Structure 1
């Protein structure tokens, strides 16, 4: 999946969860257990299909992955506010 896929274009946000998990040799299942969010919901986020995310979930993911929000999410170019 590339940043220019239609799912990412719809929200203008790209999630880098896949890359962060790979860098940490962590599985989505392990992250799910540590964060307390279902694998299905994390998969939706990872595949850029999420429409929203709770701040508490975002914080928990960043705490477990020891990253900043900007490491996890980025705005795609060409995005215009709706």
Structure 2
């Protein structure tokens, strides 16, 4: 199972969903689905934008749970 820790990273960086969605150019609905783990996949370019804006590594956002 892959756990999405995006909400925690956003909280730590003090960035709102609205602001993040605007900065990475996705809808707030798609960002919400991503935050809640309701997506089947994520494009590398979206992950790259998230990491750039949030100043983090992919492993900060995504976590593998066995």
TM-score (norm 2): 0.95
Q: Does 1:37 align with 2:21?
A: no
CA RMSD after TM alignment: 0.6
1:16-70 Cα offsets, whole Å, 9 max, x none, are 1100111111111100010001111111010011101100000000100000000
**Runs of 5+ unmatched residues, structure 2:** none
Q: Which has the higher contact order (CA 8 A, sep 6+)?
A: 2
> Structure 1 or 2: larger helix share?
2
Q: Does 1:56 align with 2:25?
A: no
What is the CA-CA distance between 1:76 and the residue it aligns to?
A: 1.2
Q: Does 1:19 align with 2:19?
A: no
Aligned residues: 66
Query: Once superposed, which parts of structure 1, at least 4 consecutive aligned residues long, lie more than 3 Å away?
Result: none
Q: Secondary structure at 2:21's aligned position in 1?
A: helix
